Structure 1
Amino acid sequence: MSEPRLIVGLGNPGADYADTRHNVGFWFVDRLAAELRAALAPQGRFFGTVGRAGERWLLQPATFMNRSGQSVSALAQFYRIPAEEILVVHDDLDLPPGSIRLKKGGGNGGHNGLKDIQARLGTADFWRLRLGIGHPGERDAVAGYVLKAPRREEREMIDAALDRCLIAWPQLAAGDTAAAQRILHVKPPQESLP
């Protein structure tokens, strides 16, 4: 893994969406910004809220999920950041709450934010930090599910996963994929039960 120079948290802007499952990427960037003491502020030319920590940029697109690529590509092109130095943090329906997976490239799993980023960058070869939010069980229920707040016990598991991401941040920042995955890819408590 290359050292990430752009860390993107996906979500939807505005108070109505702040606590919804779709915004776990925003939650991570908020925590990372606090950890790195990076002030986040709106920047119109990048269509999002932006922070800087040394040579790294933190980004929360303000374009709504399905146009996330507009914001990501604007900042990446301006600072000449290649796809392999971008880490996108997003919600994942295919993982249970509390689960995390770090991977590079691959499909978008129907995630509109990833789909738009792939289209705008012209490649899928960026890193993803997939944060599990669980699945409602029926395909027709997905849109409403991701735009609702997680139940209290789910939120606790997601918060624990976010804590684990911060613990793994030094390894992520150094580009040490294997060491980061050893911290991130542990089974959350509900998966460990017989």
Structure 2
Amino acid sequence: MAETWLVIGLGNPGPRYEATRHNVGQMVLDELAARRSVVFRAHKAGARVAETWLRPGAAKLVLGKPNSFMNVSGGPVAGLARFYGVDPERTIVVHDELDIPFDTLKLKTGGGHGGHNGVRDVAKALSSPDFVRVRVGIGRPPGRQDPADWVLDPFSAAERANLPLHVSEAADAVEDIVDAGLVAAQQKHHAPRP
């Protein structure tokens, strides 16, 4: 039987936040769902879920978007992990990352939360930091703008022009992790763009 992977897109609920930098993880999940023509439905764990496959006969993907705010994402993630019987090692969390420039991805397993409260809460709820992270670069704010305000702002016009490519590459990275493993995905997506 094909293994199941839980893919989580972190963000905040509601239309006020859907176009903000903090919600780029959920944008990546929307891309993965659109590629497979599946829709998200309410789940009792407190999330919206779309079940699909990497491709026919390959791994099952459970795409999950918590209905909670970013800083308390752990409960819904842990609930989905229990419901589907998925260990942290087969859980991929897609999230925004201030310390990576916009238009850049970094992939890793485990480690600290780097000040990201959503990642911190997921690690606490799963009782393990050993899940895969697809860290989608949003860059640091210019000047003295508070990072907490920056992440809740919409992408700039210049960023929006490149955002579809950035989101698409992050979705590719999720697929590559499931299909070929983390190391192969890192070698592909950490390489400088031509």
> Which residue in the other structure is 2:23 paired with?
23
Please point out which of 92, 108, 130 is paired with 2:97: 92
Task: Verify the 8 A CA contact 1:97 1:157 in the aligned structure 2.
Answer: no
Q: Which runs of 5+ in 1 are unaligned?
A: 190-194
How far 1:137 sits from its partner (Å)? 4.9
Q: How does 1:1-194 map to 2 (within 5 A)?
A: 5-43=5-43, 45-54=44-53, 55-137=60-142, 141-187=146-192
Hey, what's the Cα distance between the residues in 2 that align with 1:59 and 1:139? 34
Decide whether aligned partners of structure 1 residues 4 and 110 sit closer, same or farther in structure 2, where only a CA change above 3 A counts.
farther
Name the structure where helix makes up a greater proportion of residues. Answer: 1
Secondary structure, counterpart of 1:42 in structure 2: strand
> Which residue in the other structure is 1:192 paired with?
none
How far 1:18 sits from its partner (Å)? 0.7
Moved more, 74-83 or 33-42: 33-42
TM-score computed with the length of structure 1 as normaliser: 0.88
Secondary structure, counterpart of 1:130 in structure 2: strand
Moved more, 16-25 or 165-174: 165-174
Question: What letter matches 1:164 in structure 2?
Answer: E
How far 1:39 sits from its partner (Å)? 1.8
TM-score computed with the length of structure 2 as normaliser: 0.88
1:44-102: per-residue Cα shift (whole Å, max 9, x none)? x1111101014220000011101100110001012211000000000000001000011
Question: What letter matches 1:134 in structure 2?
Answer: G
Decide whether aligned partners of structure 1 residues 170 and 116 sit closer, same or farther in structure 2, where only a CA change above 3 A counts.
closer
How far 1:15 sits from its partner (Å)? 0.3
Decide whether aligned partners of structure 1 residues 157 and 185 sit closer, same or farther in structure 2, where only a CA change above 3 A counts.
farther
Hey, what's the Cα distance between the residues in 1 that align with 2:115 and 2:50? 28
Hey, what's the Cα distance between the residues in 2 that align with 1:120 and 1:34? 29
Task: Verify the 8 A CA contact 2:92 2:174 in the aligned structure 1.
Answer: no
How far 1:42 sits from its partner (Å)? 1.8
Task: Verify the 8 A CA contact 2:74 2:125 in the aligned structure 1.
Answer: yes
Question: What letter matches 2:27 in structure 1?
Answer: W
- After superposition, the CA RMSD in angstroms is 1.9
How far 1:37 sits from its partner (Å)? 2.3
